[in-house]
Chains A and B, each alone.
Chain A
Amino acid sequence: MLLFLNKSIIKNEIKEGLALFNVFTGNTHFLPQPLHKLIAFLAAEPCSEKVLLDVFLTSFQKSPQEQENATKQFQQFITEALKSDIIIEIN
């Protein structure tokens, strides 16, 4: 399964992260750092959830506790980004 950035999403960098606007629905979303780098990565090319998680975890220290927290944060991002149509999942 691959994750895509929805083509209706346009983005603007602001100081503490990324502002996203869905031109189809008119909704505005905000992603704080370091989650915003996932959007930049997905904008370049579609990828699997596993690859995306690996990209995200590079922003964190290698301690198991921090990696676990980051993984939880990532899972929450994926759930919410799918729900709000920021990203799309295709088999």
Chain B
Amino acid sequence: MLAQFTLPIGPFNFSIKTDNTAVVKNLSSLYGDYHFSDDSPFIDFPITITTRSLVRRFIKPQVDFFLDEFAPFKPLPKDQSFAMLEWGMNWCITTQAHQFLIFHAGTIEKNNKVIIMPAEQGSGKSTLTAAMVYSGWRLFSDELALISVTDELVYPCTRPINLKNNSIDVIDNFVDNAVFSTIAKDTHKGTVALLKPPKASVERMFEPAPLHCIVFPKYVANSEAKLTPINQIDTFQQLIQHSFNYHILGEQGFHLIASLLKNVACYQFEYSDFEQAKKLLSSLVD
């Protein structure tokens, strides 16, 4: 029996069909503050998470991700089904939403000023994003910065925050009453759990805001929090490396980055302590 949900997230409408009870349970728990609808006239991404073959329902059960009729990934073990849905949703956006220049970046907002934090996997970007959004910042995304090529505003894509390995315990200790998905072990990223986004961020997920700062974060154990200004040539180069679709947008992406850099400050950011990080990042927008 397939359950079906229509889920508006920021500028996108997802339709999710699944026969997987873990997906239904995690959707209900982590997307509890979202407005599911049954009558959306337009769906951007029709997704199905299902068990493909009868045999695989019983022997080492696996699930498949489909966008429409297309399966872009190999099947994954059933206990990774919800993580697969979230990764698949990222894939849908990054491969198709070219009305935005998209960066691999944590994205947060305060006082109508957006900070994007582009970084490699393992730099602590999602952990820092989680700590900030449970300290009064608005969550746009822990993975994707969506910058419109038409109005140059940053658009929220407010979804659960993807935490890995030690970060799960770190945030569990930092956030009171944190709600996590079921934990997926032995994924290609290690142990993974998703953190429910703050309700206040979900309620404002249709409100874009202007970019104010670009911060390249890096967790360095036992370091004092430190912001170091960086020049625009280095920033431009790093932004290209962290972009999913600069090569697709071409000239449009080039002009957009150049235009954004005229009005924003750019920093390298080292941190180890959330309280120091909060204070320093707040000093950029207060």
Residues of A within 8 A of B (CB): 10, 12-17, 19, 21, 23, 26, 28, 30, 32
Number of residues of chain B lying within 8 A (CB) of chain A: 15
Considering the complex, give the chain B residue whose CB is closest to the CB of A21.
Answer: B254
CA distance A71 to B226 in the complex (A): 39
Q: Secondary structure of the B side of the interface?
A: helix
User: Pick the contact of A16 from B232, B247, B251, B258 — CB < 8 Å?
Assistant: B232
Residues of B within 8 A of A (CB): 231-233, 236-237, 240, 247, 250-251, 254-255, 257-258, 261-262
Nearest-Cβ distance from residue A41 to partner chain B, whole angstroms: 20
CA distance A21 to B259 in the complex (A): 14
Task: Knowing A23-B250, A26-B247, A28-B240 are in contact, say whether A12-B233 is a contact too (CB < 8 A).
Answer: no
Which A residues are in CB contact (< 8 Å) with B261? Answer: 14-15
CA distance A32 to B251 in the complex (A): 20
Interface contact A21-B251, CB-CB below 8 Å: yes
Interface contact B254-A10, CB-CB below 8 Å: yes
Which B residues are in CB contact (< 8 Å) with A16? Answer: 231-233
Which A residues are in CB contact (< 8 Å) with B254? Answer: 10, 12, 19, 21, 28
Interface contact A26-B250, CB-CB below 8 Å: yes
CA distance A80 to B258 in the complex (A): 23
User: Pick the contact of B232 from A10, A15, A23, A28 — CB < 8 Å?
Assistant: A15
Which B residues are in CB contact (< 8 Å) with A10? Answer: 251, 254
CA distance A14 to B236 in the complex (A): 9
Nearest-Cβ distance from residue A83 to partner chain B, whole angstroms: 19
Which B residues are in CB contact (< 8 Å) with A32? Answer: 233
